[in-house]
Amino acid sequence: MTIEIVGEDLRATYGFFEVTELRLQADGGASERRTVVRHPGAVVVVALGGNGRVVAQRQFRAALGRDVLELPAGKRDVAGESVLDTARRELAEECGLLAARVEALGSFYNSPGFTDERTWVVGATGLSRGERAPQSVEERAMELVALRLDDLDALVASGVLEDAKSIVALLMARAHGLGRQVAREATVAMEEFEIVGPGE
């Protein structure tokens, strides 16, 4: 059976996303409607510092009413900005870190059953200190921590890491061998960051 979109009506705009109703037509004449969310997309950054540690953060998420452990990330909401430049901007704003090298590792759709949001995974190495520029109350309150890429399976299995974009990003980074790379540039040692392990 073939299904195609034969119509699209904008129902509402809320900040950076749009709610749209689609009209679908299938072989045999059956037609149905679906409500979807149009999203500008996002990036998530796997920033690898000294000792193979990955920069992470505990950030309050209003939808859950509590802090969530996740990687630096943000919306692609600046016109004309590339994926890699968005990653650099978010890493600086949220973590106060600059990356000598950034690399696109891949992308994924967050929840294609209702939104077209696509998230790009970017690896960042050669970290150095910059200036933080938090853009929200959540970013001002967030705590920077570190994860070991080798702990990924245990972090997920124990429920310590439950943010889907961060899990997918770390899996992509591991598949690309990011944790095995030897950074030749200056890097942040990250000894001052608390290490979050699977038992926490």
CATH code of the domain in which 136 resides: 3.90.79.10
How many angstroms separate the CA atoms of 118 and 88, rounded? Answer: 18
Number of domains the chain contains: 2
Mean pLDDT to the nearest integer, 7-24: 88
138 in catalytic set: yes
Q: Annotated catalytic residue: which of 18, 103, 138, 162? A: 138
Q: What is the per-residue pLDDT for 98?
A: 92
Same domain, 52 and 149: yes
pLDDT tens per residue across span 39-80: 889 999 999 987 778 999 999 999 999 999 999 999 898 889
Answer yes or no: do 19 and 47 share one domain: no
pTM metric for this prediction: 0.86
d(CA 123, CA 131): 20
Contacts 24+ apart (CB under 8 A), 128-133: 128/97, 128/98, 128/100, 128/185, 128/186, 128/187, 128/188, 129/96, 129/97, 129/98, 129/188, 130/92, 130/96, 130/97, 130/98, 131/92, 131/96, 132/92, 132/93, 132/94, 132/95, 132/96, 133/92, 133/93
Residue 165 belongs to some domain of the structure: yes
Q: Do 62 and 22 share a structural domain?
A: no
- Answer yes or no: do 47 and 33 share one domain: no
Residue 133 and residue 34 share a domain = no
Domain identity same for 30 and 53: no
In this structure, is residue 178 part of a structural domain? Answer: yes
What is the model's pLDDT at position 65? 94
Identify whether residues 25 and 104 lie together within a single domain.
no
Cα–Cα distance between 149 and 197 in angstroms, integer? 10
Same domain, 22 and 100: no
Distance CA 67, CA 10 (A): 33
- Is residue 200 included in any domain, yes or no? no
* Domain around 168: 42-195
Instruction: Tell me: do 32 and 60 sit in the same domain.
Output: no
Residues 28 and 107 placed together within one structural domain of the fold: no
Q: What is the pLDDT of residues 127-153, one digit of tens each?
A: 888 888 777 888 888 898 888 888 888
- Burial pattern 9-43, b for ≥16 Cβ within 10 A else e, equals eeeeeeeebebbeeeeeeeeeeeeeeebeebebbb
Residues 81 and 172 in one domain: yes
With respect to residue 10, please indicate whether it lies within any of the assigned structural domains: yes
Query: Do 160 and 125 share a structural domain?
Result: yes
